[in-house]
Structure 1
Amino acid sequence: MVGIERILSAFSEHLVLTYVSLFVSISVGIPLAVLALKSKRLASIIMGFANLVQAIPSFAVVAIVVPLLGIGFTPAIFAIFLRALLPIVKNTYVGLSEVDEAMIDAAEGIGLTEWEIIRHVRFPHAYPAMFAGIKFAAVLANSIAILTAIIGSGGLGRLVFEGLASFNTDKILAGSIPAILMAVFIDVSFSYVEKKITPKGIGSE
């Protein structure tokens, strides 16, 4: 039997690991998507890099980080960040770039600057696609956070791997069940935020 204090401690570590890496991914991914709007060549370079990173198996990403940054919390954050970046960049870029050109022309016609168009026209219409990418990235970050326990990140993954090593079902369940519940919470919470900030009529048929 695993003590409740041990589970809560592992869960808090896992929570910080997941949300910090997700915040970093969002902070980098959304500006990259906006930057990709500048030109098709720039978009090709940014999307190509994101696709390349995503093509590398998760275990390989975690392993590559070790000789570069060592082991522990910070290397784990970087590994999760790399894995969560593509869906945020890709979905945000698609959402921003597929706005009706007539709306862009109308915005330019009333004197809006490029940034004002991005903020007031492109982003509101991009929210459904952008949040779909963020939710996928969040669930992905949650799962990769389990894997990073092999490089000393701690969290629920430590319980899972300890349980696997000792054939201890209690430890496996103590680590995996909270992670599953957290994945459900992530999806529900981001869906709620999306519903609150997305203007009515956008994203609905």
Structure 2
Amino acid sequence: MVTIETILGHTGEHLVLLLTTLFVSIAISLPLAFASLYSKRIGYVIMKFANLAQAVPSFAVVAIVVPLIGIGFYPALIAILLRALLPIIKNTYIGLSTVDPAMLDYADGIGLNQWQILRYVRLPNAYPAIFAGIKFASILINSIAILTAYIGSGGLGELIFEGLVGFNNEKILAGAIPAILIAMTLDVIFTAMEKRLVPDYRK
């Protein structure tokens, strides 16, 4: 029998890995998207690398990390990070680069510098795309964090793998149901945040 304490412990490990990876992904992706906006050469390199990392199957990424940096929490974080960067980078770049040219011309005409245009014009119009990228990345991280239990990251994936190996449906469900609930909760949270923040910035 799987106890509540066991489920809560694995859920806590899962959430720590998920949230840490999500924050690191955002911290890396947003500056890279900004750099891509102002340098085509940098943008080309970043997009090629992000697309390449995204094209590799998730389990293959997890497997490749092991001989390079070992097993445990940080190798798992890096493996997930490689998959989570593209949605945030791509959506942020698209949101920033598809602003109405007339708005940019107007902002330039009233004397705003590039930083002010980015802050007051590009970013407010890019928020829906940015939120969409972060929401997708968070759900992706949640699912890949299950796989990384195979390389010692712990969390809900550990329960699921133990259940699969021992043909124990109770353990499988004890890991799968919280993971599904976390994915649904992330979707609700980011949708609510988008609805709350985007209209305020567009006033």
How far is the alpha carbon of 1:54 from its aligned partner?
0.4
| Structure 2 equivalent of residue 20 of structure 1 | 20
Instruction: Tell me the secondary structure at the aligned position of residue 141 of structure 1.
Output: helix
Residues 1-205 of structure 1 aligned to structure 2 (within 5 Å): 1-199=1-199
Unaligned 5+ runs, structure 2: none
Decide whether aligned partners of structure 1 residues 92 and 167 sit closer, same or farther in structure 2, where only a CA change above 3 A counts. same
How far is the alpha carbon of 1:201 from its aligned partner?
9.3
Whether the 8 Å contact between 1:124 and 1:199 is mirrored in structure 2 is no
Structure 1 segments of 4+ aligned residues over 4 angstroms from their partners: none
Letter in 2 for 1:137: A
C-alpha distance in 1 between matches for 2:92 and 2:149: 30
How far is the alpha carbon of 1:93 from its aligned partner?
0.3
What RMSD over aligned residues (CA atoms) do the two structures have, in Å? 1.2
How far is the alpha carbon of 1:42 from its aligned partner?
2.2
Instruction: Tell me the secondary structure at the aligned position of residue 121 of structure 1.
Output: helix
Whether the 8 Å contact between 1:160 and 1:172 is mirrored in structure 2 is yes
Aligned length: 202
Whether the 8 Å contact between 1:87 and 1:134 is mirrored in structure 2 is yes
Letter in 1 for 2:194: E
Whether the 8 Å contact between 2:149 and 2:155 is mirrored in structure 1 is yes
Whether the 8 Å contact between 1:87 and 1:136 is mirrored in structure 2 is yes
Decide whether aligned partners of structure 1 residues 201 and 118 sit closer, same or farther in structure 2, where only a CA change above 3 A counts. closer
Instruction: Tell me the secondary structure at the aligned position of residue 2 of structure 1.
Output: coil
Judge which range, 85-94 or 108-117, deviates more.
108-117
Whether the 8 Å contact between 1:139 and 1:186 is mirrored in structure 2 is yes
C-alpha distance in 2 between matches for 1:154 and 1:145: 9
Identity of aligned residues (%): 65
Instruction: Tell me the secondary structure at the aligned position of residue 71 of structure 1.
Output: coil
Decide whether aligned partners of structure 1 residues 15 and 50 sit closer, same or farther in structure 2, where only a CA change above 3 A counts. same
Letter in 1 for 2:66: V
Whether the 8 Å contact between 2:159 and 2:172 is mirrored in structure 1 is yes
Letter in 2 for 1:180: I
* Per-residue CA distance 1:23-52 (angstroms, 9 max, x = gap): 111110111111001132322211111001
C-alpha distance in 1 between matches for 2:14 and 2:54: 22
Unaligned 5+ runs, structure 1: none
How far is the alpha carbon of 1:80 from its aligned partner?
0.8
